[in-house]
Amino acid sequence: MQIARTVEEFRALRASVPALGVVPTMGFLHEGHLSLVRRAKAECGAAAATIFVNPTQFAANEDFSTYPRSLERDLELLRAEGCDFVFAPDRVEAMYPPGFDIRIAVGGVTTMLEGAVRPGHFDGVATVVAKLLNITQPTRAYFGQKDAQQCVVVRKLVRDLNMPTEIVVCPTVREADGLAMSSRNAYLAPAERQAATILIRALRAAEALFQAGEREADALRQAMRAVLAGEPMAVVEYVSAAHPESLAELERIGAAGALLSLAARIGKTRLIDNLVLPPAG
Amino acid sequence: MQIARTVEEFRALRASVPALGVVPTMGFLHEGHLSLVRRAKAECGAAAATIFVNPTQFAANEDFSTYPRSLERDLELLRAEGCDFVFAPDRVEAMYPPGFDIRIAVGGVTTMLEGAVRPGHFDGVATVVAKLLNITQPTRAYFGQKDAQQCVVVRKLVRDLNMPTEIVVCPTVREADGLAMSSRNAYLAPAERQAATILIRALRAAEALFQAGEREADALRQAMRAVLAGEPMAVVEYVSAAHPESLAELERIGAAGALLSLAARIGKTRLIDNLVLPPAG
């Protein structure tokens, strides 16, 4: 496995393979990330991961400085998966040199859900993803469904800017008790870790209602809120039953299906999760 | 010469050559454009031009609907230069499909000069150039120095987003009497065409002062204004002696040299021109 610490070093590695699958990450890797690397390797022949905690997608009051980092462990995990290349910029200035002041705004789909709670977040995501795709020039880039709105934003970025990369969204990987894997789970104290399963339990309650025939989106949102209300440690930020492309809140679940999503704080830790409902007649 | 009317058609052409020089244009081609095509062909082996009058870089009060168009003549001229491919989208929706709402803002260098007079212009330019570079994937892309600020914006776009294309800026091509070639010259009535030479005469007066040892930027700006004042048909929008990268107005011409630029209306036609001053001790 070859490790590039600068853009120029990565470009030289990239030129050595005809096709490449890339997994952009902020490091502190877990099985979710590794499942993407395996798929990239299997589908493209060569796989690369990028590891960069991107400051421009954190607001001033967020956890940029405390976001967990573990480069040596990450590299070991990637090596064990047969990952070919890693792009791990050696400093923030490698990505944002002095004088950098470009910004990509992806429009309507960035204003709701995570975008409403985290203003500017998706401009930061879109800009760094555009840069990472231009640097790594992947045949395909792999993202986890766990960050559902990010997947919508990245797909729109690539489509609207005609970027020559295929975006592949892979299933959320979960712990045995259903908690979605996330680097931020490392923040949870034992009691909080227990309480955190309330997110997937809320989503599954709404999904079960849907499977039993419920088509009113409000009923699904209320079901999620009712389950979340049973966990005193959870402070709900939003629950949503939205169109999977436009992310507009639905009145009824119809031919487009729906994205059920929610965000809650457990103690000081902010967690998100989602499930996709299939099209309904 | 092969002509693509859709993104997909162009991608198929692109895949047939290892290297490509691309000349993005809005059509109504003149010798300035053709000089770029010749250089692209000579340096890259294969050359492509894009022809697209981009609505998002025109303000509501500007000349989008009347901008001169001549596709058949343009194609003849390109064929005669040995241009290999043309990307000429058959409709605006080929570039901006329903739901398109992405925007690239390039920051400080878009706020002055043309950007101050034409708000939103460079967001439109940056967004369409990013799309065209992603569609055509050039080894090198060629732009004319005539649009000096556009060249600064495009270089910054490519550098800040790490786009894998080299931007080449080529000298302004002029008529025998010095008027910079521009598709908009077609708007000029005979008397206006005569008056339009005032732009290059103003620039050359300031350049001559500089060559005679003047280093105060205000003196150069005043010299340009004085010459322009001698032409009653010219309504000046701005004159500038600016840093060639940051485009900030200079007090003295120093080690960075300077970009002398100006914009004026001759009748209803808006014209721009510029000259670059070399570094001064």
- Tens of pLDDT, residue by residue over A112-133, are 999 999 999 999 999 999 999 9
The answer to whether residue A53 scores a pLDDT higher than 80 is yes
**Residue A205 corresponds to which tokens in the numbers above?**
């309650």
In chain A, ranges of CATH 3.40.50.620 domains: 2-170
Q: Where residue B121 falls among pLDDT bands split at 50, 70, 90?
A: very high
- pLDDT tens-digit profile of B149-192? 999 999 999 999 999 999 999 999 999 999 999 999 999 999 99
CA–CA dist A133, A154 (Å, integer)? 11
CATH 3.40.50.620 holds for A2-170: yes
Record: contact A134-B100, CB cut-off 8 A? no
Report the candidate in B7, B65, B22 with the shortest Cα–Cα distance to residue B168: B22
pLDDT of residue A228: 98
CATH 4.10.140.10 holds for A183-276: no
**Residue B279 corresponds to which tokens in the numbers above?**
């570094």
pLDDT of residue B40: 98
CATH number of the domain at B183-275, please?
A: 3.30.1300.10
The answer to whether residue A281 scores a pLDDT higher than 80 is no
φ, ψ at A275 (rounded to 5°):
-135, 150
For residue A10, the one-letter residue type is F
Record: contact B103-A100, CB cut-off 8 A? no
In chain B, ranges of CATH 3.30.1300.10 domains: 183-275
Return the H-helix or E-strand segment holding A9: helix A7-14
The rounded mean pLDDT for chain A is 97
In chain A, ranges of CATH 3.30.1300.10 domains: 183-276
Average pLDDT over residues A139-167: 98
Nearest chain B residue to A106 by CA distance is B102
Residue B162 distance to chain A (closest CA, Å): 6
Nearest chain A residue to B122 by CA distance is A102
Report the candidate in B19, B14, B7 with the shortest Cα–Cα distance to residue B85: B14
**Residue B6 corresponds to which tokens in the numbers above?**
């859709």
Judge whether B168 is annotated as a binding position: no
- Best mutation site among B161, B165, B166 for testing chain A: the one with the most A CBs within 10 Å? B161
Q: Is B132:B50 a contact under the CB 8 Å cutoff?
A: yes
Residue B116 distance to chain A (closest CA, Å): 18
Average pLDDT over residues B213-226: 98
Average pLDDT over residues A46-65: 95
The answer to whether residue A86 scores a pLDDT higher than 80 is yes
For residue B30, the one-letter residue type is H
CA–CA dist A243, A258 (Å, integer)? 5
Record: contact A131-B161, CB cut-off 8 A? yes
Q: Is B105:B126 a contact under the CB 8 Å cutoff?
A: yes
- A243 is annotated as an active-site residue: no
- Best mutation site among A101, A155, A243 for testing chain B: the one with the most B CBs within 10 Å? A101
- Beta strands B258-266; B269-277: pairing state: antiparallel
pLDDT of residue B281: 78
CA–CA dist A28, A33 (Å, integer)? 9
